[in-house]
């Protein structure tokens, strides 16, 4: 009798384990570590600091504060992978998304998705309509230092989009570090650093931004710099530091324990 009881409970445990191990995953959760969690409602808030051009040290704290908030992109006929797309919007301190119809320097929200290869920039949304469709892997992940990709200019480098950058503009994204520590009021984060050229005025100078991203946390900081071709020198400009953030909590994984008693 004891033998049959053990077999019975073993079958039950096997069935439960099988169900747990083979769920029907929603499109955005495909058993990989996300670089930037894209659950709707996730947000990150930043403080802006002016930097000394020579040393990169903070010289002033600006009044500008802003954040990024993730919004679900309504299904649209022209989207790539409808069910995967989310959009990143700049938001105010009260988490209200910036209305792109009221700001001439703000060119629209960014449609993004990610899979096991990294984060893709999939298009531009203006007035809740997808007006440009891309399929650019801009932040490959996993990644090694020195890896680079080409894609459309994401240009969420500082306070928004740049009016002189066209939707068709492309640039290079390059991983320059995989283990940089970025200090913030929310903690110290071990980051992958992706460099992006915002705009290039060769042979004079180019604008660049470094995105500091901790996988599964998101963008914890950005540093905007200007590179001068003539003297092969960088001038620091502005940096953005994560002050607080909120991510959707992972569902609890309950463990089931069975206690066997002999008859």
Instruction: Provide the pLDDT for residue 63.
Output: 83
Res. 261: pLDDT tops 50: no
pLDDT at 75: 59
79 and 133 Cβ atoms separated by less than 8 Å: yes
Q: Which residues pair with 88 in a beta bridge?
A: 70, 110
Average of per-residue pLDDT across 205-232: 95
Q: What is the pLDDT of residue 101?
A: 63
β partners of residue 21 = none
CA–CA dist 158, 226 (Å, integer): 13
Strand 218-228 relative to strand 205-214, pairing: antiparallel
DSSP E strand stretches across the chain = 43-51, 58-72, 86-91, 109-115, 118-126, 129-140, 148-152, 170-184, 187-201, 205-214, 218-228, 233-246
CATH number of 27-246: 2.40.360
pLDDT digits (tens, 9 = 90+) for 155-191: 665 544 556 778 888 999 999 999 999 999 999 999 9
Tokens of 21: 């191990």
Query: How much is the mean pLDDT over the chain?
Result: 79
CA distances from 142 to 116, 135, 192, 215, 234 (A): 8, 18, 10, 9, 28
Domain boundaries, the chain: 27-246
CA distances from 146 to 171, 176, 181, 191 (A): 16, 6, 18, 15
What confidence category does residue 12 fall into, taking pLDDT thresholds of 50, 70 and 90? very low
Q: How confident is the model at residue 255 (pLDDT cuts 50, 70, 90)?
A: very low
List, in order, residues 6 or more apart from 34 with CB less than 8 Å away.
Answer: 28, 114, 215, 216
- pLDDT at 249 > cutoff 50: yes
């Amino acid at each position: 009798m004891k033998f049959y009881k053990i077999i019975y409970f073993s079958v039950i445990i096997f069935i439960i384990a099988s169900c747990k191990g083979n769920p029907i995953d929603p499109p955005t959760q495909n058993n990989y570590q996300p670089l930037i969690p894209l659950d709707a409602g996730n947000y990150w808030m930043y403080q802006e600091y002016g930097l000394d051009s020579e040393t990169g040290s903070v010289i002033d704290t600006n009044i500008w504060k802003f954040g990024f908030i993730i919004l679900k992109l309504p299904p649209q006929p022209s989207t790539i992978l409808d069910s995967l797309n989310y959009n990143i919007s700049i938001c105010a301190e009260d988490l209200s998304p910036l209305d792109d119809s009221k700001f001439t320097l703000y060119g629209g929200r960014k449609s993004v998705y990610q899979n096991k290869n990294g984060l893709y920039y999939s298009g531009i949304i203006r007035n809740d309509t997808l007006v440009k469709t891309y399929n650019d892997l801009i932040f490959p992940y996993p990644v090694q230092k020195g890896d680079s990709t080409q894609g459309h200019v994401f240009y969420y480098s500082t306070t928004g989009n740049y009016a002189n950058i066209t939707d068709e503009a492309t640039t290079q994204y390059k991983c320059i570090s995989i283990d940089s520590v970025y200090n913030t009021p929310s903690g110290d984060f071990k980051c992958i650093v992706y460099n992006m050229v915002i705009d290039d005025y060769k042979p004079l100078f180019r604008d660049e931004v470094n995105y500091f991203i901790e996988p599964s946390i998101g963008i914890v900081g950005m540093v905007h710099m200007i590179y001068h071709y003539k003297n092969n020198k960088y001038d620091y400009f502005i940096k953005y530091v994560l002050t607080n953030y909120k991510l959707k909590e992972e569902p609890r994984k309950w463990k089931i324990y069975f206690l066997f008693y002999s008859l």
